[in-house]
Amino acid sequence: MKCLILAAGKGSRLKEVGEPKPLVRLLGLTLIERVILTVKRCGIEEFYVVLGYRGDEVKRFLSDFSKKQNVKIHFIFNDEWDKENGVSVLKAKDVLNNDKFLLCMCDHIFSDSVAKKALESNIDNGQVALCVDFRTKNPFIPNPEEATKVLVEDGKIKDIGKNIPFYNAYDTGVFVCSPVIFKAIEESIENHNDTTLSGAIKVLADKGMVLAVDAGDNAFWMDIDDYNAYKKAEAFLIENLTKKDTDGPVSKYINRPLSIKITKYLLDTQLSPNKISFFSFLISLAASFFFFLGKYAYLLLGGILAQASSIIDGCDGEIARLKLQSSKFGAWFDAVLDRYSDAFLLFGLTMYAYNPAKSFIILFTGFMAIIGSFVNSYMADKYDQFMLKELINSRSKPMRIGRDIRVIIIFLGAILNQAFAALLFIALLMNIENIRRIMLLYEYQEKRA
């Protein structure tokens, strides 16, 4: 399936943020980049973009973007861009008159789950599907009076508009259309002098031809039509970074608030998440090198660098999520570097404690700290999946013990000049936690057997 994106309007209410509207930047990406990358995650790689106001500028930007992202982008120019959005859809009639297509607005951002729900609608050639939000108290809608409202009955849209008397859902701006939409726009213009897309949907709704698709209770979407909406979207996307279910207590309450501040400064740079992962790893290497030097001043500096590395290590994932650059390779690459970092840090700390005393107990404790940490990380994915799926409704969720706690212990041990105590604490904590996880998962399996 192809995707049609409307990007012709002037967006005068967003002027204080920037213009043209499709190129307004929101946390490192332009609005139209967000739409294209979100839709691309649903498997669509061919796009038709309707341009108008400052269209040549938008075209140049998207031409470069298409090469970087390996997507096909075709451009349609609307010389009547000052009219309503139905005219922009109609300009695509000649190229999309034989296909079903996804229809999006360049100033509506949404999670990929919204687009996936729309794509699952399975309409026939005489229908249109609109993804709707039944949460009439949706906090993501900063100006409810400006939102397009819909009345849904028996799975079909009965009425649509900003000022309809009765409604039970909002229009998310994500449609799946068949070519019938073009005839509906023409009919709306001819019979009602209405050039809006909503006017065409109303024409089809009167004939029972518009399916309503529930976006879901956890769906995210926003119409970025003014400064207030822009700031609300920015705040939500940042706040959403703090809701990662697998964050441990140190990550949640110390690292994450600091890493988000750093991430905000990095968003408009060309630094990729993988480069940030590698930079964090280099800081860990530097920390372990200072541990090997064997003096308290170097131990202190190494501890500070270790904690700094742990904080920066959160930035790669934050940037990946905010700029829609998440990948399986990136997550794997970050995990591999984290294991190397753990090994170097703990070995460096072990040698710092061992050199003055030359005690086998110190070497053994360091070995157990490294082994316990590696097994703890090895078990993490399966344990996290279990926690999310099986214990999600549990009132008492155990504290997640992982890398963030290990590094803060190293940091505190360095400050207090208690390298061996830090190693011993990590060795005991990690291995006891590993045993606890095994017992928990075993008990769960026995109950299901």
Q: How far apart are CA 83 and CA 195, in angstroms?
A: 7
238 part of a folded domain: no
239 part of a folded domain: no
117 part of a folded domain: yes
* pLDDT of 397: 61
What CATH number is given to the structural domain containing 218? 3.90.550.10
* pLDDT of 393: 52
Residues 118 and 256 in one domain: no
For 189-294, list the strands marked E by DSSP.
Answer: 210-214, 221-223
Residues 141 and 258 in one domain: no
Where among 203, 233, 263 does a domain terminate? 233
Q: How far apart are CA 112 and CA 363, in angstroms?
A: 50
Where among 182, 203, 233 does a domain terminate? 233
Residues 178 and 296 in one domain: no
Q: How far apart are CA 229 and CA 243, in angstroms?
A: 21
* pLDDT of 381: 73
* pLDDT of 394: 54
Which string of b and e fits 270-306 if b means at least 16 CB within 10 Å?
eeebbebbeebbebbebbbebbeeeeeebbbbbbebb
User: Residue 435: which domain range?
Assistant: 244-448
Task: List % helix, strand, coil for the chain (3-state, nearest 5).
Answer: 60, 15, 30
Q: Say how many domains are in the chain.
A: 2
* pLDDT of 14: 87
* pLDDT of 122: 85
Q: What is the pLDDT of residues 188-237, one digit of tens each?
A: 999 999 999 999 999 999 999 999 999 988 889 999 988 999 999 999 99
Where among 233, 268, 293 does a domain terminate? 233
* pLDDT of 389: 59
* pLDDT of 390: 60
What CATH number is given to the structural domain containing 418? 1.20.120.1760
Q: What is the pLDDT of residues 239-260, one digit of tens each?
A: 888 777 678 889 989 999 999 9
Q: Which residues of the chain have pLDDT under 50?
A: none
